[in-house]
Chain A
Amino acid sequence: MEYFIQQLVNGLTLGSIYGMIAIGYTMVYGIIGMINFAHGDIFMLGGFAALIVFLILTTFIGGVPVVLALLIMMIVGMLTAALWNWTIERVAYRPLRGSFRLAPLITAIGMSIVLSNFIQVTQGPRNKPIPPLVSSVYEIFGITVSLKQIVIVVITAILLSVFWYIVNRTPLGRAQRATEQDRKMAALLGVDVDRTISVTFIMGAALAAVAGTMYLMYYGVVVFTDGFAPGVKAFTAAVLGGIGSLPGAVLGGLLIGLIESLWSAYFTIDYKDVATFSILAIVLIFKPSGILGRPEVEKV
């Protein structure tokens, strides 16, 4: 039983990271109907920015309190990732809006390759380790919970609440939802659609960068290929939860995190990805719109 709960805790941590990335996929899909395949690399880029900030802080300044260091890493990561994602949207996606559906998709894959190769060239192809930032570990009823895990889950919960609030309760969120539901009408009501789409890319990138920082802190290492596997899994999470749905992205992320850790714990770790994607396939067969997705039927 304790072993099971232990795995739940691990899965929840991993799932939080996936969930944060998945939100970027789902929001962009919701608003312009495209999958931003470069989003996983934006996540990786966030991790690298955090790493660089960490190195600068420890080398040149030294003795910065861990909380402050993490906060600075996160913020710089968010800004860097946001700038990149904003630029990508401006130069690569916006000119293709209104062209055939596959064009932006292919461009997005291209952007993903550009980003990961850029990091490979500028940062080197090797794993970049950092010493453990947060190492405290607690024993609660025989279950080991590390402070890292608590930090990840708490930060995820806070950011998701903030996001939920922005999307559902602010004029910006209203404009985003309006743009998502009827772009032309939103413009007729004075919404600057291009700006709203840009903001959506910025918001998604910022969350991905936080996930990147958390990932770096959790595993203590980041490498230029890290955009791929977590990116694909977060994308899977978004589809599993119902693409276009914010709660769906979080739920999908948590589910995939849990499936992965439970499968690794009870079966063989080599097949954990097989398990994840099999479950995705099964869900999509019986519920093509995902768990919380809405069917594409509407009264007009």
Chain B
Amino acid sequence: MTAPLLHVRGVETYYGNIRALNGVDMEVHRGEIVALIGANGAGKSTLMMTICGSPQARIGSVHFDGQDITRLPTHEIARLRIAQSPEGRRIFPRMTVLENLQMGASLDALKHFKEDVEKVFTLFPRLKERQSQRGGTLSGGEQQMLSIGRALMARPKLLLLDEPSLGLAPLIIKGIFEAIKVLNKSEGLTVFLVEQNAFGALKLSDRGYVMVNGRVTMSGTGKDLLANPEVRAAYLEGGRH
């Protein structure tokens, strides 16, 4: 098997003295969709941010494309084409939708901007209607689309999505999951996503990890995890989210 695109080894991340990640091991291979599920506060978003070096792991290492990026500053990690749609969406509130997308494309100095923005607008036609509106005035769902769109504008090798379904209507969630699938199939986009919506995420993914209290406790293919009684009891029973 070839070396993984992203390889996280024994990572421990702290906020002050509080340990948020407690020795995390996981990997993402080229062309995969990998899901990370777990309860609130398990450390899923912290892992996402640690991959991007903000905060940096205190112990352990993060390798991307064969390169050790554990101690790299965040902006240099971004330049390696790891794009993230982070927790809380983090839209620039006083920039227009178009400017937010331009920020996403700034790595290439807007070279492919016209072409890529059309793709994002095809994916999320709503953004096209709102392109000259300020980010802060968008609804939660629209901000979510913008956040994902902005990440896509960077032409990422690895796309990190932190709860892409949060705050969206079921129909739109379905659309976004389908869009991820399409990007993965047609362009070989590698995706690592964190989800509360465990059912949708595992169904979409090749593989999944389950995180509890800052530690990966289970891993397997999406199908296996979906069928696993423990996972079902903890994250799936009580209806399909």
Contact = CB atoms under 8 A, between A and B. Distances in A.
B106 A191 contact: yes
B78 interface: yes
Contacts of A178: 92, 95, 103
Given A174-B106, A190-B75, A299 B92 contact: no
A294 B94 CA distance: 11
Nearest to A168: B99
A187 B54 contact: yes
A192 B137 contact: no
A177 B106 CA distance: 13
Contacts of B154: 189-190
B75 A192 contact: yes
Contacts of A140: none
A184 B54 CA distance: 8
B75 A187 contact: yes
Interface in B106-123: 106-107, 109-110
A282 B93 CA distance: 30
Contact of B90 (A177, A185, A191): A185
B66 interface: no
B109 A171 contact: yes
Nearest to A180: B94
A123 to B, nearest CB: 40
B19 interface: no
A135 interface: no
A193 interface: yes
B95 A177 contact: yes
A193 B75 CA distance: 8
B74 interface: yes
Nearest to A196: B75
Contacts of B84: 188
B215 interface: no
B222 interface: no
B207 interface: no
B106 A171 contact: yes
Given A188-B74, A299-B137, A181 B93 contact: yes
B79 interface: yes
A182 interface: yes
Contacts of B99: 174, 177
B110 A171 contact: yes
Contacts of B79: 190
A187 B109 CA distance: 16
A181 B52 contact: no
A174 B106 CA distance: 9
A22 interface: no
A185 B75 contact: no
A2 interface: no
B136 A187 contact: no
A298 B93 contact: yes
Nearest to A191: B75
B102 interface: yes
A185 B92 contact: yes
B88 A175 contact: no
Contacts of B208: none
Interface in A182-209: 182, 184-193
A299 B136 contact: yes
Among A174, A190, A300: residue with most chain B CB under 10 A: A190
A61 B54 CA distance: 55
B92 A177 contact: yes
Given A187-B74, A188-B74, A181 B94 contact: yes
Nearest to B92: A181
Interface string A162-184: 00000000010011011001101
A188 B85 CA distance: 9
Task: Give the most central of A185, A188, A190, A298: most B CB within 10 Å.
Answer: A188
B149 interface: no
Given A171-B109, A189-B154, A190-B107, A300 B75 contact: no
B38 interface: no
B120 to A, nearest CB: 15
A192 B94 CA distance: 20
A174 B90 CA distance: 16
7 closest A-B pairs by beta carbon, nearest first, are A190-B78, A187-B74, A185-B90, A181-B92, A190-B107, A187-B75, A192-B75
Given A181-B95, A182-B90, A189-B78, 8 more contacts: A174-B95, A174-B99, A185-B86, A188-B78, A188-B86, A189-B103, A189-B150, A299-B137
16 contacts: A171-B109, A171-B110, A174-B103, A175-B106, A186-B103, A187-B75, A188-B90, A189-B78, A190-B75, A190-B154, A191-B103, A193-B75, A294-B94, A299-B136, A300-B88, A300-B93
Interface of A: 171, 174-175, 177-178, 181-182, 184-193, 294, 298-300
